[in-house]
């Protein structure tokens, strides 16, 4: 009886399908991994949603820290500039990738009455400096709203470091 209820509750709340553009990048990462003879794994907890362009459709952030490829994980998906991060915005013709960069860290910041802010910490031009960039929807695109050179990543966001 309990098992039947558990199965029914899972069927009543099936996981939402990802947009084709998001799934395509996950599949491509898997193909690269399989080509190296490794087993590819991906954790869905590394996909975040927010309505950046305020069109009523979810937009997606895909964090490549969720990609795992055995011994090849670091070689494929990480480098000195961080990990790949992708932002897909919804539109009339589906979801399109509007951000694609290696980042050290990111956050989605909700501000009451405004479009969500998309904050990223990226490698600076010199040495190991970190630059901060804030993007926000301006009615037409994700535009740079703020930049800081040589910025620290707030410790509470350190997902990359143990």
Two tokens at 150? 């040589």
CA dihedral 6, 11, 14, 20 (to 10 degrees): 140
The pLDDT value given to residue 136: 96
pTM value is 0.82
**Residue range 21-32: mean pLDDT, rounded:** 95
pLDDT level of residue 159 (50, 70, 90 thresholds) = low
Weakest mean pLDDT among 6-15, 75-84, 102-111, 136-145:
6-15
The fraction of the chain above a pLDDT of 70, given in percent, is 83
Two tokens at 30? 């898997």
The pLDDT value given to residue 126: 64
Reduce the DSSP state of residue 120 to 3 states and report it: strand
**Residue range 119-128: mean pLDDT, rounded:** 80
Q: How far apart are CA 14 and CA 150, in angstroms?
A: 44
**Other Cβ atoms closer than 10 A to 17:** 8
The residues, any chain, with a CB within 8 Å of residue 93's CB and separated by 6 or more, are none
Closest of 106, 121, 12 to residue 60, by C-alpha: 106
The pLDDT value given to residue 10: 35
pLDDT level of residue 12 (50, 70, 90 thresholds) = very low
**Residue range 45-49: mean pLDDT, rounded:** 94
Strand pairing class (105-109; 117-123): antiparallel
The pLDDT value given to residue 22: 95
Q: What's the farthest any 2 CA atoms get from each other in the chain?
A: 63
pLDDT level of residue 16 (50, 70, 90 thresholds) = low
Q: Is the pLDDT of residue 143 over 60?
A: yes
């Amino acid at each position: 009886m309990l098992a039947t209820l558990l199965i029914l509750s899972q069927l009543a709340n099936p996981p939402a399908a990802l947009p084709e553009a998001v799934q395509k990048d996950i599949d491509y990462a898997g193909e690269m991994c399989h080509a190296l003879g490794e087993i590819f794994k991906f954790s869905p907890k590394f996909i975040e949603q927010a309505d950046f362009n305020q069109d009523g459709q979810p937009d997606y952030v895909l964090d490549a820290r969720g990609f795992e490829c055995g011994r090849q994980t670091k070689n494929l998906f990480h480098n000195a500039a961080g990990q790949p991060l992708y932002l897909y915005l919804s539109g009339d013709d589906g979801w399109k990738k509007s951000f694609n960069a290696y980042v050290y860290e990111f956050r989605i910041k909700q501000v009451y009455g405004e479009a969500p802010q998309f904050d990223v910490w990226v490698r600076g031009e010199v040495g190991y400096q970190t630059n901060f960039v804030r993007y926000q929807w301006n009615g037409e695109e994700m535009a740079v709203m703020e930049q800081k050179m040589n910025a620290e990543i707030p410790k509470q966001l350190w997902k990359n470091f143990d």
